[in-house]
C-alpha cells in the first residue's frame, strides 16, 4: 500500500503526508508547491510557496510579494520524508511537473502540459514514475494539433491579407502563454503589433526574464489608432467585442484556442477566424506523455475525465479520476 502514502486527494488539494505539503492547492494551506503561474494553479492565501525560478516572476506579478522560494529544474529538494523535484512541462514559461518520491515510490503531478516545443516555454521532459497524475483538457481523439510552423503561417497569411485590404487583425488570446506564443509566431515585417494592457504587463515580466518577443505597442486611451492602420491587435478574450476593440475599424477578428477544433465554437466566439492553438497536449500528446513515463497507474484530472479514464483502462492502466478545481482560470476557461 506504499502507493497510497505518496499523495492523497483532499478538499484542499493534492497532499503529500510524508512531506506535509500540497501541490497546486485551491484552499489555503501552509506549504504549497506550484506547477505554474495560471491562477487556477497558483492561488493566493498560502503560507509558503515553492516554484521554479522561471515561474516565480509571473507568480509574484499576480500574487504580490508572497513567501516564495524557488528551485532550478531537476534540483532535488528534501521536504520531510519526501524528495521533490520540478521538471519542464512545456505549458507556459516556468511551468513544471512535480516529481515526488517517498520510500522508493515515485509519483509525478503534471499540472498542465504540452509535448510539442513552442519556442517560448521550456520543452516538456517525460519523467519515469510509478503513478502519473495528468490533465485531459483535450482528451478526445478529435483534438489533433497542427505543427506550430503551420499555425504561424496561417496567422501571418491572415494578417497580411487584412493589412492589404486596409483592415486591422484583432486576435483574442490568454495573457499568459497563448499571447506570447502568438507574438513569437508573428512576422514583424507585415506591420506593427498592438497589445492589450493585461497582455503587455505579462510581456514585460517575461521580457525581464530574457524571453525574446517582437516589439509591441501598448494600447492606451491616448493611442492614435489611425496611425497603426492594418496592425495586428492582440487582445484578451474579454476585450473582443468590447468598446476597447471597437476602436479598431475596419477589422477582422480571430480567436486562438484548442477549442477551435470543435465546430460551432468559433461561431459562439463571434470571430471571423479560428486558429487551432493550445498550450495543452492534444489526444496523441496525452497518450505519448503517459507512455513515456513507464507508469502503471494514472489519475486523470480536469477535462474529459470519464472518457479518458475509460480509454486508459482499456490500454491496461490502473486508471482513476481525481476531482479538482483546476481549469477554472480566467486565462484558460473557454
Task: Provide the percentage of residues in the chain whose pLDDT is more than 90.
Answer: 93
Over residues 262-291, the mean pLDDT reads: 88
DSSP assigned state of 242: S
Question: Which residues face 137 on adjacent strands?
Answer: none
Among residues 242, 258, 275, the one where a domain terminates is: 275
Q: The dihedral of CA 259, 262, 267, 273: what is its sign?
A: positive
Separation of alpha carbons 153 and 166, rounded Å = 20
- Asked if residue 136 and residue 15 are part of one domain, the reply reads yes
pLDDT on residue 73? 98
Give the closest residue to 88 by CA, choosing from 38, 51, 133.
51
Question: pLDDT tier at 3 (50, 70, 90 boundaries)?
Answer: very low
Is residue 39 situated within a structural domain? Answer: yes
Q: Is 29 found in the same domain as 127? A: yes
Cis? peptide before 220, omega within 30° of 0 = no
Residue 263: band (very low, low, confident or very high) from pLDDT cuts 50, 70, 90: confident
Q: How confident is the model at residue 329 (pLDDT cuts 50, 70, 90)?
A: very low
By CB atoms closer than 10 A (0-12, 13-18, 19+), residue 207 is: middle
Within this chain, do residues 213 and 157 fall inside the same structural domain, yes or no? yes
Residue 324 has pLDDT above 70, yes or no: yes
* Cβ partners under 8 Å of residue 237, min gap 6: 172, 173, 174, 255
User: What would the pLDDT profile of 103-131 be if each residue is shown by its tens digit?
Assistant: 999 999 999 999 999 999 999 999 999 99
Residues 6 and 136 in one domain: yes
CATH number, domain containing residue 200: 3.40.50.10890
CA 135 to each of CA 14, 51, 81, 285, 324: distance values in angstroms, whole numbers, following the listed order: 13, 19, 27, 11, 10
Determine contact, residues 305/140, Cβ cutoff 8 Å: no
Q: Is residue 230 part of a domain?
A: yes
Domain containing 163 equals 148-275
Residue 297 pLDDT more than 80? Answer: yes
Q: Are residues 75 and 158 in the same domain?
A: no
The pLDDT score that the predictor gives to residue 179 is 97
Q: Clarify whether residues 44 and 128 are in a common domain.
A: yes
pLDDT at residue number 241:
87
pLDDT band at 271; cut points 50, 70, 90: confident
pLDDT at 160: 98
224 found inside a domain: yes
Residue 177 in any domain: the answer is yes
Predicted confidence band at 267 (pLDDT cuts at 50, 70, 90)? low
- 333: in domain: no
Q: Among 166, 155, 168, 181, which Cα is nearest to 95's?
A: 181
Query: Which tens digits make up the pLDDT trace of 154-186?
Result: 999 999 999 999 999 999 999 999 999 999 999
Mean pLDDT of 60-75: 97
> Is pLDDT above 50 for 334?
no
Mark whether 135 and 215 lie in a shared domain.
Answer: no
Q: pLDDT tens digits, residue range 308-321?
A: 999 999 999 999 99
pLDDT at residue 116 in the model: 97
Does residue 329 form part of some domain? no
For residues 2-31, give the mean pLDDT. 92
- pLDDT tens digits for range 238-256: 999 899 999 999 999 999 9
Q: pLDDT averaged over the chain?
A: 94
Asked, for residue 292, whether it belongs to a domain, the answer is yes
Same domain, 134 and 265: no
Do both 259 and 299 map to the same domain? no
User: Are 13 and 124 members of one domain?
Assistant: yes
254 plus 303 within the same structural domain: no
Q: What is residue 269's predicted lDDT score, i.e. its pLDDT?
A: 63
Domain membership of residue 330 (yes or no) is no
Residue 330 pLDDT exceeds 80: no
For 191-215, what is each residue's pLDDT tens digit?
Answer: 999 999 999 999 999 999 999 999 9
Distance from C-alpha of 189 to C-alpha of 273, rounded to nearest angstrom: 22
> What's the confidence (pLDDT) of residue 266?
59
- When divided into structural domains, the chain yields a total of 2
Contacts for 78 with CB less than 8 Å, ≥ 6 apart: 84
Residues 130 and 241 in one domain: no
CATH of the domain at 93: 3.60.15.10
d(CA 110, CA 168): 38
Give me the percent of the chain exceeding a pLDDT of 70: 95
Amino acid at each position: 500500500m506504499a502507493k497510497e502514502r505518496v499523495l492523497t486527494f483532499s478538499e484542499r488539494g493534492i497532499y503529500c503526508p510524508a512531506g506535509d505539503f500540497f501541490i497546486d492547492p485551491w484552499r489555503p494551506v501552509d506549504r504549497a508547491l506550484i506547477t505554474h503561474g495560471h491562477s487556477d494553479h497558483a492561488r493566493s492565501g498560502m503560507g509558503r510557496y515553492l516554484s521554479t525560478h522561471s515561474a516565480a516572476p509571473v507568480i509574484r506579478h499576480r500574487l504580490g510579494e508572497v513567501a516564495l522560494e524557488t528551485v532550478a529544474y531537476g534540483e532535488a529538494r528534501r521536504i520531510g520524508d519526501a524528495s521533490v523535484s520540478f521538471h519542464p512541462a512545456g505549458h507556459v514559461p516556468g511551468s513544471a511537473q512535480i516529481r515526488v518520491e517517498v520510500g522508493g515510490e515515485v509519483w509525478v503531478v503534471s499540472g498542465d502540459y504540452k509535448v510539442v516545443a513552442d519556442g517560448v516555454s521550456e520543452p516538456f521532459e517525460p519523467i519515469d514514475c510509478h503513478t502519473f497524475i495528468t490533465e485531459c483538457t483535450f482528451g478526445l481523439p478529435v483534438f489533433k494539433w497542427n505543427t506550430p510552423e503551420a499555425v504561424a503561417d496561417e496567422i501571418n497569411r491572415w494578417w497580411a491579407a487584412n493589412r492589404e485590404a486596409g483592415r486591422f487583425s484583432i486576435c483574442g488570446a490568454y495573457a499568459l502563454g497563448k499571447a506570447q506564443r502568438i507574438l513569437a509566431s508573428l512576422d514583424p515585417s507585415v506591420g506593427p503589433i498592438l497589445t492589450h494592457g493585461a497582455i503587455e504587463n505579462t510581456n514585460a515580466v517575461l521580457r525581464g526574464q530574457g524571453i525574446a518577443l517582437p516589439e509591441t505597442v501598448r494600447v492606451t486611451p491616448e493611442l492614435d489608432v489611425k496611425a497603426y492602420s492594418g496592425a495586428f491587435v492582440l487582445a484578451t478574450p474579454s476585450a473582443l467585442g468590447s468598446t476597447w476593440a471597437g476602436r479598431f475599424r475596419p477589422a477582422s477578428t480571430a480567436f486562438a484556442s484548442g477549442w477551435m477544433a470543435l465546430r460551432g465554437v468559433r461561431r459562439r466566439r463571434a470571430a471571423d477566424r479560428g486558429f487551432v492553438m493550445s498550450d495543452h497536449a492534444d489526444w496523441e500528446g496525452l497518450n505519448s506523455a503517459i507512455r513515456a513515463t513507464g507508469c502503471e497507474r494514472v489519475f486523470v484530472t480536469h477535462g474529459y475525465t470519464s472518457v479518458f479514464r475509460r480509454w486508459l483502462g482499456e490500454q491496461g492502466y490502473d486508471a482513476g479520476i481525481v476531482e479538482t478545481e483546476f481549469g477554472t482560470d480566467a486565462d484558460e476557461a473557454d
